[in-house]
Amino acid sequence: MNQKIKYISRIKDEFDTVICGVNGVFLSGNEIMTSGLDALIKLYQSGKNVCLASNTSLRVADLYYLLKKYDVPMNIFHAMITAGEIAHFYLKNSSSVGHTYFCLSGLDSCVTKGLPYTAVNNLVMADFVLVETNDVGFVAEQYYPQLEQALQLGLPLLCVGNDVSVICHGERRINAGAVAEQYAMMGGKIISFGKPDVRLAAYLTEDMPRFSASRCLVIGDCMSTDMHMGNHFGAKTLFLTNGVHQLENAADVHLNELADHYGLSVDYYMENLQW
């Protein structure tokens, strides 16, 4: 359809449930996007089920308290899930990947806190490699040598969040998803957590009576995660063009080219979420 809209209130009667991300929807870096948050509040007040599906490496409780610090009214959300929570659950219930890991960001991972896993600073000592979606991205040169060594050692790579890029200080940088894609192209094994896995959408909506995916709207700013999940879940989609793809003043032709590149379709699009 690729229909441009200015206000989400114009289409609110077409759906009962909203699934959206955090960054690019109502949070940008460390700043609240007022219009986006206001739109979600009004959707909640209109009787919609508003759910969060984030590719952050934070666990749900950590994201909850972080958003409360930004004065986000958390009662508007029917349910929340994060890539970090899913990865934590996986590691808690699986020992098949071993117990030592090398984190590409050089930091201890929040998904392993409270679990019997140890961060090491030498790939030779690691059982697996960990890469997490973050808000600063990665510089290409910093991770290629580690990936090559990890491949030689036969280490699996666990990707927490599949975001392929991030805008940091006005510059686009690759993110965890792109690192995982590169490792897969090199022949490495990857295990990923987060969007676009449609099981996130299924989890968020499983307790909703008379739920219909055709009456669900997925909102996000990333084709490979948000729009991909929406398409494969059978939901309607609303693409925010001023997010990671930076399609300023996007026209139908630009959006069509981008969607075709990913083999996806978009129902509606707007620059930033507004009521």
| pLDDT of 207 | 94
| pLDDT of 253 | 63
| pLDDT of 251 | 61
Q: Could you say which residues of the chain have pLDDT below 50?
A: none
Considering the domain 95-193 in this protein, what is its CATH number?
3.40.50.1000
Boundaries of every domain in the chain: 3-26+46-55+196-267, 95-193
| pLDDT of 250 | 59
Q: Which CATH number fits domain 3-26+46-55+196-267: 3.20.20.60, 3.40.50.1000, 3.30.530.20, 3.40.50.300?
A: 3.40.50.1000
| pLDDT of 255 | 80
| pLDDT of 184 | 96
Indicate the pairing of strand 165-168 with strand 171-174: antiparallel
Give the 3-state secondary structure of residue 193: strand
Give, in order, the Cα–Cα distances in Å from 135 to each of 114, 164, 173: 24, 11, 10
Cβ atoms within 10 A of the Cβ of 75, count? 8
| pLDDT of 167 | 72
| pLDDT of 29 | 76
Tokens of 98: 């071993």
| pLDDT of 157 | 97
**Cα(147)–Cα(153) distance, rounded to whole angstroms?**
10
DSSP at 65: H
| pLDDT of 120 | 94
| pLDDT of 243 | 77
Cβ atoms within 10 A of the Cβ of 259, count? 19
